[in-house]
Structure 1
Amino acid sequence: MVQKRTYPGTLVLVVGSSGVGKDSLLAGARNQLTGHASFSFPKRLVTRKPVSDLEDHDTVTFDEYLGLVSKGSAALSWQAHGLGYIIPKTIENDLEVGKVVACNVSRTIIADAANKYPVHVVNIVAELELRAKRLANRGRENEDSIRRRLAREPIALPTDIPTTEISNNGEMRVGIKALVDLLVSLQTQNQE
């Protein structure tokens, strides 16, 4: 068995069902923590162009995605909904210097991430009606597709990995504050 490398930083995996507001909370936290060198919000690489300002990712073709994964340039990678996603290997530089690194990922890669890095999961939750409204407002899918997406059963979270649940049912600023408070708390723990 390969021994897990030790990093002084923490990788925060932000997860949650479609429409809970993961990208919105991450964007708000990033804005509030801008200028603080202890935090990193890496851009994902996705095989789709961003549809809104809240989608902070870089676009790659599917062939580029496959090439990056095969070359080992991805810290984490997964495929979902016909798309490929990558968290770049550069996060290891941030973890090495003790940063809290926060990114939006699929629940399917939590165990893989925890085998490589010190991980804390943030599970964002929101009521079904609110999620439906947010998905409709994104304008990426038709009503049928949204209904199918909302009907999917969420993948269970591992029980042996530290996890914090944040409700994003109210004003966005409340969810952002909860996320920022958690990230600051994790950074304080890293420095102890």
Structure 2
Amino acid sequence: MANPIIESAKERMAKAADVLQRELGNIRAGVANPSILRSVTAEYYGAETPLNQLASISVPEPRVLLITPFDKTALKAIEQGIFAANLGLTPANDGSVIRLVIPALTEESRKTLAKDVKAEAEKAKVAVRNVRRDALNDAKKADDLSEDEERKIEKDIQVVTDEAIKNIDVIQADKEKELTTI
């Protein structure tokens, strides 16, 4: 019974780190990263379609995203979708591709984004602590565990929690470094 509780907690804590990675990918750091377009959809033949299904996205230069639609008739819809996503980017449509130039970050915007990173990391840590709480409750509810086994499981859960928190701290530090590097 001990291993399933710990393994389940480990998996759920890893998912919290994955969610953090995905959320931090949406924070633009002054460099071109196709993941900032993940939330963009465009109306294509009457249906809202994700941008990655309508076009290929490449990074020809460090601060430029190049969007090449599979169907040239979708250019206007893609452009409108980028405006609607409110990314703070202005698309440049040349008739065959759309270029998005990522503006340089000011010191003030870097600090604001660093605060956002800390807030997202704290959300992930709260999620990890909630998983720890649930795992500890599961261990206490387990009828077939002796007190010694229960204490060992509690220690193992704490070790797994500490590892997950360290991983989140590393992810946070990497993103903050990316934001502060000019």
- Normalising by structure 1, what TM-score? 0.28
Q: Which has the larger radius of gyration?
A: 2
From the two aligned structures, give the one with the greater strand fraction.
Answer: 1
From the two aligned structures, give the one with the greater helix fraction.
Answer: 2
The structure with higher relative contact order (CA 8 Å, sep 6+) is 1
